[in-house]
Structure 1
Amino acid sequence: MFANIYKQFFSLLFIMIGIQSAHAQTWSLQQCIDTAKVYNKNLQIGRNKIRIGQESEKEAKANLIPKVTANADYKYFTNLPYQLLPLNALNPTAPEGQFRAAQFGVPHNINANLQLSMPLYNPQVYGAIESTKIASELTDLQYQKTAEQIYFEISNLYYNVQILHHQLAFVDSNLINAERLLKNIQLLNEQLLAKGTDVSKVKLQVAQIITQKKTIKSKYTQILNALKFAMGIPIEQKLQIHTNILYQSSKEYNPISTLDIRIIKTQNRFLVNEINTLNKSRYLPSINLVGMYGTTGFGYKGQPTSFLDFYPIGFAGIQLSYPIFNGKNTLRKINQKTIEIRNNDLQFGILTEQNNMLVENAKLQRMVAKKSVETTTEQIELAKTIYEQTILQQKQGTASLTDVLLADNALREAQQTYLSAVIDYLKADLELKKLTGNISTTN
């Protein structure tokens, strides 16, 4: 699983090197997502956490490998230790219960040895290995969760940029119509066929459209910068996106276990493994292979003879450790983990019910948005027709300037409603992909 992540990472890196060389290229949504997979810092942090989890798993497995320790010490006794000797040990005729203090040993003591320790069976070690393995799976799921959230964010920003681009196109078209109307009204005013207030009204209309255009351009730049940040590329880098909105009819997605549910299940496995480990360490012994080989040196400097002699020492054996009573600490930990599992089960139930509810809401919202797109498409065509007819009638003197301005406002409202309906549909569809676990597979 982890090897595939890094294989995918490096392949994407080479792809992005090629993309970087094409400065004039228009970026698709998938290319933006692929760029984020390489350069987004949150995903880089996630990959580093995966590597940390791998190293933790190796660390836990390393506890099964024999441990060898080198020890050495030197002691100089300014006062040799005393020992009490029974007097009858040296003189059988001496009475019992009488002792004599005597000093044993030499002032200089040197010890050097190698100690070996290897676990033959330790339930805590095996439990820790299994726990780190599950923790690595959990870290991988958290990485996928972060990636999913970033894909969702980039898609939303991409759609917003597309919508704003089309808003600018509509505004430019409306501005051309308004400026054309202003010229006609000014000409009529010069011919004393229109009032000065009519000219002022149209000038106000033009000024409002120009202000609207500046506002949309500012929003466009801001959201484009947010898209660059989410992708992990410099703000100053030029970025052009595909302006065609890929609006498609409703599509049903096969429900896949969402990452939130998979994370809850993995957390449950982790808690169950901790309880099993605690139970085993509570009732099963730990068995270790131990050994030691070294030398002990004794030295003396003085009369009648100075010496430093070394003597070998070594042993091998098996060490067994069995817990008899530890103040019920293990039992308290088991009780805590049992309660945590109950909470985990409750969270799983809440998450499942909530996800089902959100899926139904997203389907309903997408259906409503789809119908709104279809309706507003017809309304735009109708508003265009009404506007053109009103302009013609105004030239013929059968329609007033107020009628023209009302028709123009109706056209702009229809355009805005259409764009809002499209983005509502795209966002509802994206939300449905996320809730059904299809957001990564459908990009």
Structure 2
Amino acid sequence: MKQFVFLILVCISASWLPGYAQGKIWSLEDCIKYAVDHNIQIKQQTLQTRMQKNALEQSKMNLLPTINGQASHDYSFGRALDQNTYTFYNQTVQSDYFYLGGRTTVFNGMQNLNTIQRNKYELLAGEQDLQKITDNVSLNVALAYLQILLNKELVTANENQLNITLQQIEKTRKLVDAGSAARGNLLQIEAQAAQEEVSLVTMRNQLEISYLNLTQLLELETPAGFEIVVPDIHVDQNSIVSGNIDEIFNLATQTRPEIKSSELKLAASEYDLKIAKGARSPSFSLSHTFGTRYSYIKDLPMQSFEDQLKNNKNFGLGISMNLPILNGWQVNRNISNSKLAVENSQYALEGTKKQLYKDIQQAYTDAVAALKKYSASQKAVSSSEESFRYTEQKFNVGMITPVDYNAAKTQLLNAQSEMAQAKYEFIFKIKVLDFYKGLPLNLNTITSN
């Protein structure tokens, strides 16, 4: 009975949890966090960073002495030498050998220490690369999120226009029935309504596509039931794009992960050069050994296993020097290639800074242009609304044709659409600039003034 009740509870929970997930309303912060947690590129770079950490730990362990053991059991047939008595016997001799030894690098041109430093900088650079991928994912999610908000406004604008047209159809139909208006006017307005329905369907399709794009960035299986928070975003008419390109660039060079990564990779390449130069230096190492053995010959008096191991112990300690003289010019070639790698890393850092400056320059210019466009669009919408109200009044009393009426309504819709597009383009560019300044990515504030 208890198992049956438990099974029912599990089934109820399984059916309730998906509905709960679908019923969740996602904020921009929720979307960014979820995308970062589930993005495949971020997971791959995380694994890469962990491998770089392992490489760093291994380079530190390489400073320790190496110790290895060996054991063997041998048979000697025919004329064989007993290693204990140094006597030859024409019998089978069984021997056991035990060995423990290793080597310690005393000096090798600082290559081990420089390898540790190189791996450390490569690990730090990998962490910055991980942050760069995270930032790119966050920006892409923010852009997709704002695209949904834009399409929602465009759908609402199209719905409002269609509702106005449907209301006008009812008014015109009554006038036609009363004989106060020509039937052609009604037909023209109905044709306009049909076109607006097509436009509305198109905008709804674009909204569905924008939902799909965002859910794909979040690695969700389906956009079904997915909904986002619609924040109250207001752009002040007196807004300005704060700061200038150089100020934002100076802030970005201190915080942006792509700059830090390039700087760290340059440092790593410099240590690679030191490693290559270290190969010119003589290397010194210590060797240390310990060994013992046991021999057994059938039908001959022999010491016990323990006594032989004790009496046959031997120790060894040595020092060796390796002096590179001529190795096919390999050392010099490695040094030359390392110098080229340092120079290439310097160019990479310079190129990253230039690309960052171009990106900031483009985002700043786009933000200024979008703000100007938004301000002009506000005036256009205000004028178009007033013009449409006047045109609608004239149409209601039969002073203008449906063609003029539809033209005024289309002009209003276009003005509203352009204003919405300029608004969200401005918001995104401002958020990009805030991102370069090191500010968090959210829609709570629009820091443009």
Please give the TM-score of this superposition, normalised by the length of structure 1: 0.81
Distance in 2, matches of 1:345 and 1:104, equals 74
Instruction: Judge conservation of contact 1:80–1:107 (CA < 8 Å) in 2.
Output: no
User: 1:259, 1:437 within 8 Å by CA — same for their partners in 2?
Assistant: no
Report the CA distance shift for 1:440/1:199 in structure 2 as closer, same or farther (over 3 A).
Answer: same
> Match of 2:178?
191
1:112 aligned to 2:98?
A: yes
SS at match of 1:283: coil
Q: State which drifts further: 240-249 or 110-119.
A: 240-249
Q: Tell me whether 1:299 sits opposite 2:286 in the alignment.
A: no
Match of 1:256 in 2: 252
Check conservation: 1:70, 1:114, Cα contact below 8 A: yes
Unmatched 5+ residue regions in structure 2?
A: 1-18, 82-87, 444-449
Q: Alignment partner of 1:193: what SS?
A: coil
Counterpart for residue 275 of structure 1: 273
Per-residue CA deviation, residues 300-320 of structure 1 (Å, 9 max, x unaligned), is 346xx3647552222233343
Distance 1:397 1:442, change over 3 A: closer
* Distance in 1 of aligned mates of 2:281 and 2:442: 50
1:56 corresponding residue in structure 2: 55
Q: Deviations over 1:344-376 (max 9, x none)?
A: 222333333343334333222211110111111
Retained in 1: the 8 A contact 2:165–2:189?
yes
CA distance in 2, matches of 1:80, 1:143: 68
Partner residue of 1:134 out of 107, 118, 121: 121
Secondary structure of the corresponding residue to residue 325 of structure 1 = coil
Q: 1:413 to 1:27 in 2, by over 3 A?
A: same
What is the rounded CA distance, in whole Å, between the counterparts of 1:232 and 1:270 in structure 2? 35
Q: Deviations over 1:33-84 (max 9, x none)?
A: 23333333332333333222222211221112233211012232346589xx
Query: Which amino acid letter does the alignment assign opposite residue 298 of structure 1?
Result: S
Q: State the alpha-carbon separation in 2 of the partners of residues 209 and 141 from structure 1.
A: 50
Distance 1:169 1:306, change over 3 A: same
How far apart, CA to CA, are the structure 2 residues paired with 1:117 and 1:270? 28
Query: Which residue of 1 is the match for residue 226 of structure 2?
Result: 238
Give the structure 1 partner of residue 353 of structure 2: 352
Amino acid at match of 2:235: Y
CA contact (8 A) 2:364 2:429 kept: yes
- Partners of 1:441 and 1:272 lie apart in 2 by 35
Question: What RMSD over aligned residues (CA atoms) do the two structures have, in Å?
Answer: 2.9
Match of 1:176 among 163, 172, 178: 163
Contact 1:73-1:112 within 8 A present in 2 as well: yes
102-111 vs 260-269, which moves further: 102-111
Pairing partner for 2:196 from 200, 209, 222: 209
Paired residue type of 2:270? V
CA contact 1:386–1:407 (8 Å) conserved in 2:
yes
* Code of the aligned partner of 2:403: T
Three-state SS of the structure 1 residue aligned to 2:279 is helix
Equivalents in 2 of 1:334, 1:239: separation in Å?
58
Deviation per CA, 1:202-250, whole angstroms, max 9, x where unpaired? 1222122222222222222222232223234443453322243353632
Q: Show the counterpart of 1:329.
A: 330
Mapped to 2, the partners of 1:395 and 1:441 lie a distance apart of 49
Alpha-carbon distance between aligned partners in 1 of 2:149 and 2:378, rounded to the nearest angstrom: 17
Aligned to 1:438: 438
C-alpha deviation, 1:153, in angstroms: 0.1
Give the corresponding residue for 1:46: 45
Alignment of 1:226 onto 2:226:
no
Aligned to 1:35: 34
Partner residue in 2 for 1:429: 430
Q: What are the superposed Cα offsets for residues 283-342 of structure 1, whole Å, 9 maximum, x if unpaired?
A: 142433x3222212233346xx36475522222333433333322212101111212222
- Residue 133 of structure 1 deviates from its aligned partner by 0.8
Q: Quickly say closer, same or farther: Cα 1:359–1:212, change in 2 above 3 A.
A: same
Measure the CA separation in 2 of the matches of 1:21 and 1:322: 71
Partner of 1:256: helix, strand, or coil? helix
Query: For residues 22 and 132 of structure 1, what CA distance do their matches in structure 2 show?
Result: 43
Q: Aligned-pair distance for 1:400? A: 1.8
Tell me the residue number matched to 2:380: 379
The CA deviation at 1:271 is 1.0
Kept after mapping to 2: 8 A contact 1:148/1:439 = no
Corresponding position of 2:70:
71
Q: Decide which moves more: 146-155 or 188-197.
A: 188-197
Distance in 1 (alpha carbons) for counterparts of 2:322 and 2:79: 35
**Cα offsets for 1:144-203 (capped at 9, x unmatched):** 110110111011001101101111111111111010111122222223333333222212
> Shift of the alpha carbon at 1:114?
1.6
CA distance 1:68–1:105, change in 2 (3 Å)? farther
**What CA distance in whole angstroms lies between the structure 2 residues aligned with 1:143 and 1:440?**
17
**Corresponding residue for 1:15?**
none
CA contact (8 A) 1:60 1:128 kept: yes
Residue type matched to 2:55 in 1? Answer: S
Q: Is the 8 A contact 2:377 2:419 kept in 1?
A: yes
Higher RCO structure, 1 or 2 (CA under 8 Å, sep 6+): 2
* Aligned counterpart, 2:343: 342
Q: Measure the CA separation in 2 of the matches of 1:377 and 1:132.
A: 56
Question: What letter corresponds to residue 323 of structure 1 in structure 2?
Answer: P
Q: 2: CA distance between counterparts of 1:79 and 1:125?
A: 50
Question: CA 1:222–1:80 in 2, change beyond 3 Å: closer, same or farther?
Answer: farther
Task: Provide the TM-score with structure 2 as the length reference.
Answer: 0.80
Structure 2 CA distance for partners of 1:359 and 1:341, relative to 1, 3 Å: same
CA gap 1:405/1:433 in 2 versus in 1, 3 angstroms? same
Corresponding pairs, count: 401
Q: Is the 8 Å Cα contact of residues 283 and 322 (structure 2) preserved in structure 1?
A: yes
Three-state SS of the structure 2 residue aligned to 1:127 is: helix
**Residues 299, 306 of structure 1: 8 Å contact kept:** no
The 8 Å contact of residues 73 and 95 in structure 2, kept in 1 or not, is answered as yes
